[in-house]
Structure 1
Amino acid sequence: MNVEHEVELLVGEIKRLGTQNADGQYVVTFGTLFADDKCANLFEALVGTLKAAKRKKIVKYDAEILLQGVHDGVEITLLKE
């Protein structure tokens, strides 16, 4: 799969699993994404896809790197659809 396609899939999964905040943006925790069976089957490297989406300013989160367990509570905010 190419990165563009994986980022598009990620946007859909954030919308499916997340909730809207006061600004109307979808927010989901890393732990929710990581633990979801559909996401586990869709993404070979969820962290890499998130990093690519962050570089493109499609999502934002406050961590350099995301590790399962340690960063489960980190909120990922969808900036663009």
Structure 2
Amino acid sequence: MQEKIQEEIEELKKDIQRLGTKNAEGKYVVKFGVLFNDEKTQQYYEQNVLDFQGQMLLKGAHDNVDIILK
């Protein structure tokens, strides 16, 4: 089970790099709406590899929130 989770985290990292851009700190950033709308990433859960402002994100209301790859 732990191996499967780790595999999914690695895939999510690749997807954030694919969909996002690097910020001033050299970390990859993608908007929540972009991540949410991508078919491949809709299945992923946040496993402490993502950072964003706030406690939770809702489709529509938070589409422009930056998702940062830690």
Is TM-score (shorter-chain normalized) higher than 0.5? yes
C-alpha distance after superposition, 1:28-48 (max 9, x if no partner): 0110001112323xx1xx3xx
SS of match in other structure, 1:4: helix
In the alignment, residue 63 of structure 2 is paired with which amino acid? D
Please list every run of at least 4 consecutive aligned residues from structure 1 whose deviation after the TM superposition is greater than 4 angstroms: none
Distance 1:60 1:7 in 2: 14
Of 23, 26, 29 in structure 1, the residue corresponding to residue 25 of structure 2 is 23
Please list every run of 5 or more consecutive structure 2 residues that lacks an aligned counterpart in the other structure: none
The structure whose residues are more often helix, as a share, is 1
SS of match in other structure, 2:57: coil
Distance 2:8 2:58 in 1: 19
SS of match in other structure, 2:41: helix
Distance 1:74 1:28 in 2: 8
TM-score using structure 1 length: 0.71
Sequence identity (%): 43
The offset of 1:59, in angstroms, is: 2.1
C-alpha distance after superposition, 1:9-40 (max 9, x if no partner): 11111000000111111000110001112323
Distance 1:60 1:35 in 2: 18
SS of match in other structure, 1:27: strand
Of 55, 59, 63 in structure 2, the residue corresponding to residue 68 of structure 1 is 59
